[in-house]
Chain A
Amino acid sequence: MKELNYDVVVIGAGAAGLATAEVTASAGRSTLVIDRDDFAGGVLMQCIHNGFGLHHFKEELTGPEYAERLESAARNAGAEFLLQTTVMDFNLADNENKELLALSPEYGVMRITAKAVMLAMGCRERNRGNIGIPGRRPAGIFTAGLAQRLINMSGLLPGKSAVIIGSGDIGLIMARRLTWSGIPVKAVVEIRPFPSGLTRNIVQCLNDFNIPLYLGHTVSKINGADRVESVEISPLVDGVPDSSRSFTIECDTVLLSAGLIPENELSKRGGVTINMTTGGPLVDAWRMTNIPGVFAGGNVLHVHDLADYASDEAALAGRHILDYLNGKRPGREFPVAAGGNLRYVTPNEYIPGEKTQFFMRSLIVEDDAELIVSLDGQEIMRKKLRFVKPPEMLSVEVPGELTARGGQLSFALNGGGR
């Protein structure tokens, strides 16, 4: 059995994990990155479209380009990689030495000890059971990400004509990808009255190809015995499918793009406390979980709409991992709360007097909204936001001098008062 020992073990070699590894390895800390797949880069490697890197690299890149840059930076800084390697179990309790049990077809069972662990496992797609689409279970139903991997990495075509359920970004990107691969997309069906994906993707992935987007509609039935034959679509009236206005679209393929869930099964095994709203760990200003020395960042913490933000957050966690390894501790922290019209705010704690970047998601669609930051109920800051909608993450930096006295920090959205 192989025994390994590092300062930092990063679980997941995607947009988040690679960014953390670069930071910790650059500072001379021995760093190991573990990933289940045959290559580093995570889901970026199947995201062959452009739209990555503008924020992090100040240049527009495709997923694989973005990933390769992050990977080279981490490798050049001295990070080591174990690919095709799955972490099976965790023992995080010991503050000095976290113990991991991992498997790989190259080395067999490995016991790995580390002083700090970075959780960067990303997320998984919500599937048919999660969204409860009734009907039969023919072949031809794929999550959008699975279809993306089949086409972009293996050159395998999942069908001849498709309907996409949910208007998340991967679904929209796949609408264009399928069309360009000769598979017509007959409709995108979104249960909410507004799209889930970025506006630019509605424009360049649907409008460019005249693909109809049915907002406020649901797929009430999937038909077909062996393979999908058609789907029945119903408009929602007061939240209930109106079967009198149902219509049927013939297709042999259904793609699901109905949201992502942070993948925290390992975290839970290790005793990490999970935030019920985001599905990610509860973290403090350092992005440290309830277990000292265990950090989290990227989509495992909360689902980001841009890979760049996931990398930034994970790099920030990396800098605090260095603080942690150098014997520093965050000191007294105060709680952060999501107020009116916000689904969540992260991180969940802050350090008084320190400048902190907060990320949050709106519950409302609003032009000209205001974000109000309060400390123990007293307003300390206000920020105008031109467009607010749930699919696009909001962020705000709160200067340290405003929070120096401590207390509960809360964020709320004001719909402009109109």
Chain B
Amino acid sequence: MKEFDVAIIGAGVSGASVAWQLSKYRLKTALLEKCADVGFGVSKANSGIVHGGFHHSKSTLKARLELQGNLMFEQLQYQLDFPFKRNGILVVAFSEEEMETVRVLFRQGKANGVRNLELCGRDRLLQLEPKLSPDVVGGFYVPNGGTIEPYRYVFALVEGAKKGGVELFTNFKVAESEREGEYWQIKSADGETIRARYVVNAAGLYADEVSKIFGAEEFTITPRKGEEYLLDRHTQASVSKVIFPVPSKVSKGILVIPTVEGTIMIGPTAEMVQDKEDVGTSSDNLHRILTQVKHMISGISVNDVITSFAGMRPTMPGDDFYIDISGKAPHFIQVAGIQSPGLTASPAIGEYVKDLLKKDGLVLVEKDCPKTVLPEFKEIRHMTPEEIDAKFADDPAYAHVVCRCEKISEAEIVEAIRRGHTTLDGIKFYTRSGMGRCQGGFCTEKIIKIICRETGMSPEEVTKRGGESKIIVGELHRGEK
């Protein structure tokens, strides 16, 4: 049976950040993920915003980790190569009453120590973002806010952690645990078993169930659903900065988000639901979102919508992050209730959890780490013709365009597969193939064939996102039955 110093349950953004931190030490670490690929739970449907540290009071743990995490992304990007851009956030007000809330947030940001905040009048706002509705009254500008590709970020953290010796177990759904001497014995739903001295519960929506499995604290995670809509990159509404309305008590509101890759996302809604897997979207919500964003950016049109999706925020009573050493189960660290601004806070969550493990007796010995862990991988959409031609000389696949909408080469698909992403969604999240306006209508067949060629799988084994999400159920007869 495999033995580890630490087992991290859940390879979302929190678990992946912890894994990345621990990979810098002389430790044997296991990262356990119930899905077919990492980041497939809460993280994949994240809005991808690096928040600016003004929404929450510094008295909360989440605000402190958000402020700290925000500052760590350049360093991480240098080491791990993922799409991230500090393109700034605008909070926009459409009345004097809303301006009052803007001033409160502005003062909170200042008190939190956020730098370069700017209160803006109408003219300054329209200069910063000409696509804003001319009805805007004022707002404030947070230059240190940014955008990130959430799945690419999780992929990079896990890949970096793996380079540092962390062992990843996918399709490992924790089902049972038993304390045996120094060790936790952890059994998956499929009967696979490993042992670890410390356990980190970063199970997202299911952190409550995992806590129960280990006999730790009892609490309830309630999912709060958020629907998002993706617009064609040709939309008239392509803004350059993240546009926030003045927030309400329950959420930061419906945003207009320019993704790092040049598309526009609108959303998310915020709706408490019972079923943790209830990730459906509804047409009422689409129309509500459209009405709200059109108020801010009038050029947005329903005809620009190319796809929709929904995700879940794992919320807990008290509304703060719950990151602590368990008082009930030995050597068990809770990382629960990580909702917004969890992605922004994640680099700091990793460090914080590492420190908690140390406090709980784990011996940390640093090892030599390379400066850049993952080499830069450049996509053809970011290359000049000369650069593509140079790459083509070594590998013709760089000049074979598989996804026409997002201009993805066969070389990028193969790279995703070699980095361990063998489901259609995994490849989509890594490369963007199928994320464009045709939504995979033209490239799905080609990608299935490339997966089969590279991995030796049969077409019937290829899935959308693991489990029973098969694309092809059989083949036509070939000759004699």
Contact = CB atoms under 8 A, between A and B. Distances in A.
Nearest to A146: B441
Given A86-B404, A103-B388, A132-B305, A226 B281 contact: no
B476 A109 contact: no
Contacts of B463: 139, 226
Interface stretch (B111-119, B198-206, B391-399): B391-399
Given A134-B282, A139-B470, A227-B470, A129 B307 contact: yes
B472 A108 contact: no
Interface in B53-80: none
Interface in A11-61: 36
A302 B244 CA distance: 39
Given A128-B439, A160-B473, A136 B399 contact: no
A139 B385 contact: no
B260 interface: no
A1 B397 contact: no
A243 B473 CA distance: 32
B389 A146 contact: no
Contacts of A268: 234
Contacts of B441: 124-125, 127, 143, 145-146
A226 B234 contact: no
Interface string B428-453: 00000000011111101100110000
Contacts of A227: 468-470
Contacts of B401: 36, 86, 88, 103
A1 B234 contact: no
A1 B470 CA distance: 41
A160 B459 CA distance: 15
B436 to A, nearest CB: 9
A204 to B, nearest CB: 22
Interface size class of A (residues with CB under 8 A): 35 or more
B261 to A, nearest CB: 16
A125 B409 CA distance: 22
B475 A150 contact: no
B475 A157 contact: yes
A132 B401 CA distance: 28
A129 B305 CA distance: 6
Interface in A131-161: 132, 134-140, 143, 145-146, 149-151, 153-160
A181 interface: yes
Nearest to A222: B280
B473 A109 contact: no
Contacts of A137: 279, 309
A1 B437 CA distance: 30
A138 to B, nearest CB: 7
Nearest to B464: A139
Contacts of B309: 137
B471 interface: yes
Given A86-B407, A139-B464, A268-B234, 12 more contacts: A88-B401, A103-B399, A103-B400, A132-B308, A134-B281, A135-B281, A139-B465, A153-B445, A156-B476, A157-B472, A226-B465, A226-B469
B385 A101 contact: yes
18 contacts: A1-B385, A88-B407, A103-B409, A104-B399, A105-B396, A108-B388, A108-B389, A111-B385, A127-B306, A127-B441, A128-B439, A129-B308, A130-B305, A139-B464, A158-B471, A226-B463, A226-B465, A226-B467
A151 B476 contact: yes
Contacts of B302: 132
A104 B402 CA distance: 11
Contacts of B473: 157-160, 252
A212 B475 CA distance: 27
Contact of A109 (B282, B392, B449, B459): B392
Contacts of B283: 132, 134
A280 to B, nearest CB: 15
B280 A127 contact: no
Interface of A: 1, 36, 84, 86, 88, 101, 103-109, 111, 124-125, 127-130, 132, 134-140, 143, 145-146, 149-151, 153-160, 181, 221, 225-227, 252, 265, 268
Nearest to B477: A155
Contacts of B31: none
B370 interface: no
B33 interface: no
Contacts, number: 142
Given A124-B441, A127-B438, A135-B280, A105 B307 contact: no
A240 B471 CA distance: 32
Given A36-B401, A36-B404, A139-B463, A155 B388 contact: no
B386 interface: yes
A223 B69 CA distance: 38
Contacts of A86: 401, 404, 407
Contacts of A106: 396
B442 A124 contact: yes
B286 interface: yes
Most buried by A among B230, B409, B439, B464: B439
Nearest to A279: B303
Given A36-B404, A146-B440, A150-B445, A128 B307 contact: yes
A158 B277 CA distance: 25
A135 B277 CA distance: 12
Nearest to A256: B441
A129 B230 contact: yes
Interface string B202-241: 0000000000000000000000000001100010000000
A118 B463 CA distance: 39
Nearest to B391: A108
Nearest to B397: A105
Which 7 pairs from chain A and chain B are nearest by CB? A129-B307, A108-B392, A86-B401, A139-B464, A105-B400, A155-B476, A226-B468
A156 B459 contact: yes
B445 to A, nearest CB: 6
Contacts of B409: 103
A135 B280 CA distance: 4
Nearest to B231: A129
B438 A125 contact: yes
Contacts of B469: 138-139, 226-227
A160 B460 CA distance: 13
Interface string B355-393: 000000000000000000000000010000110110011
Nearest to B438: A124
A52 B409 CA distance: 34
Contacts of B392: 105, 108-109
B136 interface: no
Nearest to B467: A226
Contacts of B404: 36, 86
B410 interface: yes
B396 to A, nearest CB: 4
Contacts of A150: 445, 472
B128 interface: no
Contacts of A109: 385-386, 388-389, 392, 399
